[in-house]
Amino acid sequence: MLKTLKKYRAPYLFILPFFILFLVFQLIPTVWTFYISLTNWRGIGDPEFCGFENYRKLMLDNMFWDALKNTVVYWLTGLVLILVFAVLIANLLNSELLRGRVFFKTVTFLPNICAAIAMGLIFRMLFDENTGLINEALQSIGGKRIPWMTSTEYSKLPVIILNVWRNTPWFTMIILSGLLNISRDYYEAATVDGAGRWKQFWYITMPSLKNILFFCSITLTVDSWKIFNESYILPGPGTSNTSLFQYMYESGFNIFNMGFASAIGVILIIILAVLSMVQMAARRQQGEI
């Protein structure tokens, strides 16, 4: 072992910073979070061990279950809508018929580089019940004003729209990079065989993007379960659109119940680990890994 370490000392030194950062900023905080979740701690003083009391409170907490349901909605809608829009827009940007592709690529990516809080404030004005542009447009075509921000029925929609609008450009660029790596020979051969654009898309484009779409789905899953800015800046009545990450933040930094907030963090870690393993297992069963 020592001989191996000595022989490959230089490569190990190059990757050492990653492991140091992983240890300091990920592994140790994760272990600390699990420990704090077993205590009553207000952020100051010594943690008081309470076992699994915080987890018992979570199971009986209606606000926790509401936040969990909301986050599942954000995850599923984001996963479907963002990937669908990203694939469609990437194919349009990759089309040889499109003129000014550099301009459209730049415009497409702009929402991703805008500050989330600033965009949230703009969306709050757009969806305002009394003076918002959305309701003004609805009224101009004979519709009724919708209480987007004050109704439990509609309060999730602005969050979902903002989430999709902000994140679609990033995944569009990832999928576009995959499209650029597909050989044009496949499409030329398919054209010679009489395959139309739809068949080319379904039998050439989509299979070639499998690995990229899998990467996007994993990344989107992690991002969706950590959604915070959108639901925080576009609050609805009660917990109608509160995300699990937002509820963890409010439990920890608004009422300073660090033990309870840490328990939510542990639940989040477990959920993400399970979802990632399920996705990996599904890919492995398909023979893709």
Q: In terms of pTM, does the model score above 0.75?
A: yes
pLDDT of the residue at 289: 56
| CATH classification of the domain holding 68 | 1.10.3720.10
Q: Is residue 163 part of a domain?
A: yes
Q: Is residue 27 part of a domain?
A: no
Q: Is residue 120 part of a domain?
A: yes
Q: Is residue 228 part of a domain?
A: yes
Cβ–Cβ under 8 Å, residues 48 and 41: yes
pLDDT of the residue at 1: 61
pLDDT of the residue at 2: 65
Percent of the chain residues topping a pLDDT of 90: 50
Q: Is residue 5 part of a domain?
A: no
Give the total number of structural domains in the chain.
Answer: 1
Q: Is residue 254 part of a domain?
A: yes
Q: Is residue 221 part of a domain?
A: yes
**Each residue of 193-230: pLDDT tens digit?**
888 888 888 888 898 899 899 999 999 999 999 999 89
Q: Give CA–CA dist 230/165, Å, rounded.
A: 11
Q: Is residue 83 part of a domain?
A: yes
| The three-state (H, E, C) secondary structure of 9-35, written as one string | HHHHHHHHHHHHHHHHHHHHHHHHHHH
Residue 220, domain extent: 60-285
